[in-house]
Structure 1
Amino acid sequence: MNRDNASDLLAFLAVARERSFTRAAAQLGMTQSALSQIIRNLEERIGVRLLNRTTRSVTPTQAGERLFLSIGPKFNEMDAELAALSEFREKPAGTVRLTATEYAAAEILLPALNKILPTHPDIHVEVVIDYGLTNIVAQQVDAGIRPGELVAKDMIAVRVSPDLRMAVVGSPAYFAERKRPKTPQDLTHHNCLNLRLPTHGGSIYVWEFEKNGRELNVRVEGQLVFNTAGLLLQGALRGFGLAYLTEGHAQPYIAKGQLVRVLADWCPPFSGYHLYYPSRRQPTPAFSLLVEALRYRGK
């Protein structure tokens, strides 16, 4: 591959990833017009249109999506190999990009970072909050943190938390005017706060319950829909309705009497959070240090 092809492909990857010429140009340190010309020249050279452009959006064509998914991981591998050379340095260094839910980032990732960042000033960490099942290879993310049951089988998974439980909670003011639900079916009579996920077409998250081997998935309804658990928590605290949150997220407010928990017997433990990353990834010293800081060793 000649140098021009490589640089043009990197420009294409930036646009396809960002879905924006403006953001991609800023990332690459060039003007938007120069970037547009590079993409046009690339398309003319290979004889295939790679991007659909409108006044509001930029999306890959079918050919563009194929190219993005095929060459993106290869460039990622080259970047990882170059970053891995930092092992020959005296100190771990480099940038690690992670995706996590809001709760996992605050309660699991930040305490781990507190162990290593103060003594390793050359390590930089970028955290992307995401509730979907991020394709970490395509999105050029080093690793993700999700419940173990959601991690793909072809990924290396490292447990970073104990088992989890979900909690259905509402404020005392909310329950002052309503009966507390005793079964998941009773939720049909309540105003519930929904979470919209970015994956699967932006679907609403289904509340999952289990008791005595009986599993129930309930599609609840309510006046409010959010896309972060932090807003679900705030909505519940303000009395807008019931929220379905990770137990650890809600517990401090339950202990203070600001939230009331219901249906606890329908929320059994499930697999805790895991850090996951591709098996073919060559860990850098900085990444390996972070993995060990995150690793859950029990109590």
Structure 2
Amino acid sequence: MTRVHVRAPGKVNLSLRVAALQDDGYHPLVTTFQAVSLFEDVEVGDTEPGAGISISVTGPHADVVPTDSSNLAWQAAELVAAAAGVDPDVHIEITKGVPVGGGMAGGSADGAATLVACNALWSAGLSQTDLSDLAARLGSDVPFGLVGNTAVGTGRGHLLTPAMSRADLHWVFAVRDEGLSTGAVYRAYDEHVGGPAHVSPDDDAALLAALRSGDAAAVGAALHNDLQAASLTLAPHLRRTLDLATEAGALGALISGSGPTVAALAGDLRHAHAIAAAWNAAGVADQVHLATGPVHGARIVTHVGPERHP
């Protein structure tokens, strides 16, 4: 049996700028992603002909992760099989390392990892561009799961431009078991804020300059999220989490994406532990995670067994 193990990272939005709702039902975005050292591990393996796709999930909150065709990993396997001209007979094992429902793109990382894994499993020969095109069909965050590191996303967030980052950043994440509906946050944003007509990467010039220079304090000062006010109208308790991070001396703190995860930027590892201790003492998070960034995108860890040609 051939088995391929791929690891892909979660992400934090260093900045998220959201334009007004368009006639096509989408909000044009400019977002700066950073991949962080919380990983999804995906292992795929051949099964008997005709067995189709199956998924098993382990790790924290695995019980709430779908194991049917609504899972992005399942959809990714179908896309690669169609491109390779093979039957999608594969078992997918997902080990969760990115918080479930925390807005850190764990599901998107699973999709990205499965694209890479199945491409190797079936010797499909898909290029990075091919995989990126398939990733964009799966969801706006999936292409970033392939490339990792730091990148600026435009359009729906899926059109990526790499961003240089000389800063090794220390992150602390406060995660809540009860999530926030992305749709509800965007509706609150439309109702209470509305958004500008246009957003541009130039709006994040200070952030991108801070990343290039490696100035973590300047990165912290430039963190930005247009959706934060809308998220706080739906989950006002997150304000206390943000305030505690500031009181603990965080270089910057924000709700990541549509939430409910709060991300705090620390000066170093010891400082990260101090922020985590403040959150834990106050009981403002169900889970607290420490991570660093940037890290690489989806990569093969092991590939065991013979190659199979379509």
Normalising by the smaller structure, the TM-score range is under 0.3
TM-score, structure 2 as length reference = 0.24
Larger Rg belongs to:
1
**Higher strand residue share:** 2
Q: Using CA pairs under 8 Å that are at least 6 residues apart, name the structure with larger relative contact order, 1 or 2.
A: 2
TM-score, structure 1 as length reference = 0.25
**Higher helix residue share:** 1
